[in-house]
């Protein structure tokens, strides 16, 4: 699935319309954010994550979305499950992002009784 650009106007709707949402917070000046972007895009297109929504949020322009994720540094990754923050971390490590996604998936199974 392609990465969707989100703003404060549509952020709440987007995180509530899909069970699991991954958000990458960035700033235009952030070099690490730019370096991580291709990896993030590749992960978002993997077949195993087809049911997950991937968002990009400019942290400097979207204060509401930034606060919802608890952003304290950039790049910052956050995973939401059913509209609630599961985990957020200032990271540009692909492995850590995958662990965050898997944690949210496990919560999904626990709440559905599987």
Catalytic: 41?
Answer: no
All structural domains of the chain: 4-112 (3.40.30.10)
Confidence at residue 107, expressed as pLDDT on a 0 to 100 scale: 85
Selected catalytic residue, list 30, 65, 74, 77: 30
Tell me which residue of 21, 74, 53 sits closest to 66, measured CA to CA. Answer: 74
Q: What is the pTM of this model?
A: 0.92
Helix or strand run (H / E) with residue 107: helix 94-112
**Set 3, 33, 65, 104: catalytic member:** 33
Q: What is the pLDDT of residue 2?
A: 86
What tokens were used for 53?
A: 């929504």
Q: Which residues of the chain have pLDDT under 70?
A: 108-114
| Whole-number pLDDT of residue 31 | 96
What's the pLDDT at 69? 97
Active site residue 30: yes
Q: Which of 112, 22, 8 is nearest to 61 (CA)?
A: 8
pLDDT at 111: 47
Q: What is d(CA 24, CA 5) in angstroms, rounded to the nearest whole number?
A: 10
The alpha carbon dihedral of 64, 28, 25, 49 has a sign of positive
């Amino acid at each position: 699935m392609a990465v969707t650009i989100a703003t404060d106007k549509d952020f709440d709707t987007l995180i509530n319309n899909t069970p699991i949402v991954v958000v990458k917070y960035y700033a235009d000046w952030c070099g690490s954010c730019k370096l991580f972007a291709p990896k993030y895009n590749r992960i978002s297109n993997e077949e195993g994550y087809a049911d997950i929504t991937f968002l990009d949020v400019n942290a400097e322009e979207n204060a509401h979305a930034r606060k919802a994720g608890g952003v304290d540094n950039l790049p910052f990754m956050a995973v939401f499950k059913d509209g609630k923050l599961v985990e957020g971390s200032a990271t540009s490590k692909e492995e850590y992002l995958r662990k965050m996604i898997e944690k949210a998936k496990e919560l999904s199974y626990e709440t559905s009784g599987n």
